[in-house]
Amino acid sequence: MKFVLFGHTINPSKSLTADNLLSLLKARGDVVTDELTSDVDMVISLGGDGTFLKAAEMVGATGIPIVGINTGHLGFLADVSTDEMGVFLDCIHKGQYEVRSRSVLHTEVFLPKASAASPIVLHALNEVAVTKHDSASMISIKAFVNGELLTTYRSDGLLVCTPTGSTAYSLSAGGPIIHPQSDVMLLTAVAPHSLNMRPIIISDDKEIELVVDSRSGHFLVAADGQSANFDTGTRLVLRKAPYRINVVKQTGNTWFRTLQKKMNWGI
């Protein structure tokens, strides 16, 4: 089989894990390449969920499945432990694994006074976060769904999430947990300045438009943690991307079992 190995080598312990992984792959006659070509069977993400998100950005619409080997902490996406690498590689060679697809957010950022210019395009497997930048003051975000005003969020920020992203930033902001195969999007306010501003789930065939106002004159947009600064008046249009990310999972390792383990339910 042909693999692309993706990760960071700054941490010496992770470099050692990468060396061990390369040895395991070569022992099985596998090919490791640096190029994401059409004949690559899988991408192996070596790190935590953050590394997995970067691997997903690299894979994009190619459809190449991603294996997440966890050298990080929580690991909802990267859930194969380093102790399981050899066993799981054997399972892959035997075809004893599952591929589960995850929806992706497609975001177009329209800059003010640049109506003729092409929008900036962002993609996110977890969430797009619109947050205040360097001011203690809240920001104001008008949210429209299919052209109809939903509400104006006055808060520290707003998260638009995929089901996969429901267990990321949104969870710490009080959002609900959503099964990753659900056809929905989630909007969660960050520190809203009104107690009745609750998270809301909508079907993912809708289009969300956000118009942001900030006293400081600018704000941050982060797609899966990759952030950029934009001026007030910038408009964001979000919808489901036309492609999905394929995630390789161990057979029998269901999302519910992962949830129980990572959330320490029942302990």
pTM of the model: 0.92
With 90 as the cut, is the pLDDT of residue 120 above it? yes
User: Do residue 173 and residue 56 come from a single domain?
Assistant: no
| Claim to verify: residue 143 and residue 35 sit in the same structural domain | no
Instruction: Looking at the structure, tell me whether residues 86 and 207 fall in a common domain.
Output: no
Q: Which of 64, 95, 126 is the last residue of a domain?
A: 95
CA 141 to chain centre: 22
The domain tally of the chain equals 2
| Structural tokens at position 67 | 């294996």
Active site residues: 49
DSSP 195-244: TT---EEEETTS-EEEEEEETTSEEEEEETTEEEEEETT-EEEEEEEEEE
For residue 26, what are the domain limits? 2-95
In a domain, 60, yes or no: yes
Check whether 10 has a pLDDT greater than 60: no
Are residues 81 and 192 located together in one domain of the fold?
A: no
| Rounded distance between C-alpha atoms, residue 203 and residue 185, angstroms | 6
Residue 229 shares a structural domain with residue 123: yes
Vertex 158, ends 157 and 164: CA angle to 5°? 135
CA distance 241 to 49: 20
- Spatial separation of the C-alpha atoms in residues 149 and 30, rounded to whole Å: 53
Q: 263 pLDDT band (50/70/90 cuts)?
A: confident
User: pLDDT of 23-46, one tens digit each?
Assistant: 999 999 999 998 999 999 999 999
- CA atoms of 152 and 212, how far apart (whole Å): 9
Give the helix/strand (H/E) hosting 51: helix 49-59
Same domain, 90 and 120: no
Listed residues 36, 65, 95: the one ending a domain: 95
Q: Are 53 and 42 in contact (CB under 8 A)?
A: no
Region for residue 157 given its phi and psi (left: phi exceeds 0; alpha: psi -120 to 50; beta: otherwise): left
Average pLDDT over residues 81-93: 94
Here the CATH number for the domain that contains residue 196 is 2.60.200.30
Residue 97 is which amino acid? Y
Is residue 250 a part of any domain in this protein?
no
